[in-house]
Amino acid sequence: MRRYDVKTKVAEDGKPISLGYKYPNESYKIRSLTEKHFYSVGDIATAGLYGRDKFPIGCNKWITVTEGEGDALSLNQVVNLPVVSVQSAATAYRDCVTDRDYLNSFERIYFAFDGDAAGREALQRVAKLFDYNKVFVLKFDRHKDASDYLQAGHLDELRNIWHNAKRYLPENIISSLDEFKKLLKDPPVWGIKYPFPTLSAMTYGIRPAETVLITAQEGVGKTEILHAIEHKLLTETNDNVGAIFLEEPKQRHLQALAGVQLKRPVHLPDSGCSPDQVVAALEQVLVTDDRLHLYSHYGSDDPDVLLDTIRFLVTARRVVYVLLDHITMAVSGLAGEDERRALDYLATRLEMMVKELGFSLIVVSHVNDLGQTRGSRLISKVCDIRVDVIRDIVNPDPIIKNTCYLTISKNRPIGKTGPAGALLFDPLSYSYTEVANDNRSIETVGKAPIHDQHGMAA
């Protein structure tokens, strides 16, 4: 109690009547000793984890999270390692989100929640905030929690439970008919439609737990296509969007969204749009705060940094759609075999996370002259849908030059593949329109020379 700075209120006759657990923000959770009753003093809702201020980052490789303050004291007394606590099972997710960066700084995170239904449900929610490789779980059997073990004198048993904690595994196996029925009770539905009718018809829209890969050579216009998709998601849903555009400054990105809204290239000095008009347009797109989350890339070559960022956006910020442009930039400092291994790892873990957390991922990859995803061929193998974009960027005909042709080369969920529409980009209105193929087949266009950014034919 001295280590955690617990205060005791004593009656005039010397009898302790309550305990005060002091949180890092100076708020208190008060526990009555005369009846089962708790109340708080101060801003307890934003206090985060109890005991966090007693164990600074870097003080140990491991940290344990309990379901109550008394359990934190009890377990710390027995294992003599950093132990913090959530305020309750009901607030566990909120408390762990508040101090996620703190917890994530440790190599291992042990959860010692109660074994009842509330504790199990809380564990399933908070475990998703972190990479499962670093999450371990204590299994209590004889007693409900760490405090009960200590009060019963079973210190060695509690210590052994901690040392024998197992890596957390989500409940991936189901076998009962009731569980099967639960999975089938909701009929198949459309996802959010793309701004492009043919692509929507062939994919049934942007749907949960699916990865869409958009491939193109450099300079084809895939970033503008993503801008149009992002604008559609923001204006036709109330969902949160994560935008990870690794080659685009944040100002340019916001100008692009405003430009789609105003149908003007507001990033150009001669667009005729004032800064106030641009700001007003962006407000129309976003409507409220905390919907669009822009990620700043700091040149890390560690794919786990990007993976952890996406996990945080989805679990803590409730992001439903993540747009990543483009995947190779995430490991731009690597080369050769190191780059391939990093991209293989990143692509595989991204697809696993999409299925685990149920969000929609749209990711861009450049391709080489053979149409293979640059750096790693596994990128195209693990995705659910692949959309290839081509454009003859040096053709003197302005219509042909500004027309992108879409082809779905992989469509695991639906099965429809082939030509998926032609998109004419109007630089003056900064918008795409799906058009006919100008009496040419998509197959003919697909065989036309593809030129790189220097005008050299592939």
pLDDT at residue 129 above 50? Answer: yes
3-state secondary structure of 443: helix
457 within a domain of the structure (yes/no) = no
CATH code of the domain in which 440 resides: 3.40.50.300
- Phi-psi group of 14: left, alpha or beta (phi > 0 → left; psi -120 to 50 → alpha; rest → beta): left
| Position 336 confidence tier, pLDDT thresholds 50, 70, 90 | low
Residue range of the domain that includes 304: 197-446
Based on the fold, state whether residues 15 and 91 are members of the same structural domain: yes
- Do 102 and 208 lie in one domain? The reply is no
- 250 confidence band (pLDDT: 50, 70, 90): very high
Shared domain check, 292 and 160: no
pLDDT (0 to 100) of residue 19: 94
Q: Which pLDDT score is estimated for 376?
A: 84
Report yes or no on 377 lying in a domain: yes
Pairing mode, if any, of strands 211-216 and 360-366? parallel
Q: Choose one of 123, 151, 167: the last residue of a domain.
A: 167
At 455 the pLDDT is 33
Q: How far, in Å, are 278, 433, 451 from residue 423 at the CA level?
A: 25, 5, 18
**Residue 346: strand, helix, or coil:** helix
Cβ burial, residue 436 (10 Å; 0-12/13-18/19+): exposed
Q: Report the range out of 89-93, 181-185, 296-300, 329-333 with the highest average pLDDT.
A: 89-93
In a domain, 69, yes or no: yes
- pLDDT-based confidence at residue 95 (cuts at 50, 70, 90): very high
Give the model confidence (pLDDT) of 143-170 as tens digits.
989 999 999 999 999 999 999 999 998 7
What pLDDT is recorded for position 443? Answer: 40
Per-residue pLDDT reduced to its tens digit, 351-360:
999 999 999 9
Q: Last residue of some domain: 122, 149, 167?
A: 167
Does residue 434 belong to any structural domain of this protein? yes
Listed range (28-37, 91-100, 130-139, 300-309) with the worst mean pLDDT: 300-309
Counting the structural domains of the chain, the total is 2
Residue 217: what residue type? Answer: Q
Calculate what percentage of the chain has a pLDDT beyond 70: 92
pLDDT on residue 445 = 39
Domain match, 96 and 221 both: no
Mean pLDDT value of segment 78-106: 95
Residue 354 lies inside a defined structural domain of this protein: yes
Is residue 455 situated within a structural domain? no
Same domain, 14 and 158: yes
Q: Examine the pLDDT at 446 and tell me if it is beyond 60.
A: no
Residue 180, in any domain of the structure: no
Residue 233: in which H helix or E strand, if any? helix 222-236
Same domain? For 267 and 156 the reply is: no
Q: What is the pLDDT of residues 380-426, one digit of tens each?
A: 899 999 999 999 988 899 899 999 999 999 999 999 999 999 999 99
Q: Is 330 helix (H, G, I), strand (E, B) or coil?
A: helix
Using 50, 70 and 90 to split pLDDT, how confident is the model at 276? very high
Asked if the model's pLDDT at residue 457 lies above 50, the reply is no
Tell me, what's the pLDDT at 447? 38
User: For residue 295, what are its two tokens?
Assistant: 């990620």
Q: Determine how β-strand 385-390 pairs with β-strand 211-216.
A: parallel
Q: What's the whole-number average pLDDT of the chain?
A: 89
Query: What's the distance, CA 110 to chain centroid?
Result: 22
Same domain, 237 and 132: no
Give 333's pLDDT tier (boundaries 50, 70, 90).
low
Residues 140 and 207 in one domain: no
Residues 152 and 269 in one domain: no
Same structural domain, 155 and 228? no
Rounded alpha-carbon distances, angstroms, from residue 20 to 14, 52, 249:
17, 16, 48
127 and 270 within one domain: no
Instruction: Please report the DSSP string for 374-421 in residue order.
Output: SS-THHHHH-SEEEEEE--TT-SSHHHHTEEEEEEEEETTT---EEEE
How do residues 284-320 score in pLDDT, each as one tens digit?
Answer: 999 999 999 998 765 556 788 889 999 999 999 999 9
Higher-pLDDT residue of 403, 185: 403
Estimate to the nearest angstrom the gap between the alpha carbon of 201 and the chain centroid. Answer: 27
Same domain for 157 and 209: no
What are 61's two structure tokens?
Answer: 């490789």
CATH of the domain at 160: 3.40.1360.10
Domain assignment of residue 337, yes or no = yes
